[in-house]
Structure 1
Amino acid sequence: MTAGLHTIVYPVTDLVKAKTLFNALLHAEPTIDTPHYVGYRIAGQDIALDPNGHTGKGMTAPIGYWHVTDLHTHLTTLVAAGATITQPPTDVGNGKLIATITDPDGNQIGLLQP
């Protein structure tokens, strides 16, 4: 089951400039601010800036992450439906799992299990 699209991650090349822009856009300061990840929580939506998105993860655009209750089951179902796993399940801290798939049209879709 999915709880909806609650997280979007933007790949950035200059974290300082990106943070300045998103602070102004969101009228907020980050709730998480590290050299590897900057995150905002606005009205139940997580917005993140990833300075390793372009080079380390091959991101070419923002990726929306669907929050799911069982990441592994969703991956199995989506692969059977034609998706390719782009990033296998990864624990990003405190048991939170993320993964990305690519659909048959080349779109990247993120999955997140809180």
Structure 2
Amino acid sequence: MTSAATAGITTVLHPVSDLAKAGKVYTALLGIAPQTEGTYYIGFDIGGQHIGLVPDGGPQGMTAPVTYWQVPDIAAKLAEVTAAGATVHEPVREVGEGRLVATVTDPDGNVLGLLQDR
């Protein structure tokens, strides 16, 4: 079993219906301007935590926030959590700049994200 110290929550993505309106709310809430801002995504980095806004749930069709745990080896962690009873929701894929993501569902249907930076 991998030590809990090797995985930490680093990213939380929120599906939003209106990216511009949500961006204003999160800017006010967090007290900082977004570090990434486009028509497909708005991202804030605050204290080592990344908060992302995804219009209409993005290509993965998110309907609720998804928390991503930073892991050193996404394939190994995916194997470990599926062996423990999780189900692959979205297989490993690259989302840019060498970043790999995957999602699983726990036995209650909650979506959990895994993230590996190269």
TM-score band w.r.t. shorter chain: over 0.9
Q: Tell me the equivalent position of 2:46.
A: 42
Q: 1:81 aligns with which of 62, 70, 84?
A: 84
Residue pairs, 1:14-93, within 5 angstroms = 14-53=18-57, 56-93=59-96
Report deviation, 1:35: 1.0
Please, what is the CA RMSD of the aligned residues? 1.2
The reply to whether residue 102 of structure 1 matches residue 94 of structure 2 is no
Report deviation, 1:89: 0.8
Q: Tell me the equivalent position of 2:9.
A: 5
TM-score of the two chains, using structure 1 as the length reference: 0.94
Cα distance per residue 1:58-90 (max 9 Å; x no partner): 312101100000000111111111111111111
Report deviation, 1:53: 1.2
TM-score of the two chains, using structure 2 as the length reference: 0.91
Give me the whole-angstrom Cα distance separating, in 2, the residues matched to 1:74 and 1:3: 9
- Contact 1:12–1:51 (Cα < 8 Å) also in 2: yes
**SS of structure 1 residue aligned to 2:96:** coil
- Contact 1:36–1:52 (Cα < 8 Å) also in 2: no
Give me the whole-angstrom Cα distance separating, in 2, the residues matched to 1:35 and 1:75: 31
Where do 4+ consecutive residues of structure 1 move more than 6 Å?
A: none
* Runs of 5+ consecutive residues of structure 2 not aligned to the other structure: none
Cα distance per residue 1:37-57 (max 9 Å; x no partner): 110000110000011416x32
Aligned residues: 113
Give me the whole-angstrom Cα distance separating, in 1, the residues matched to 2:77 and 2:56: 26
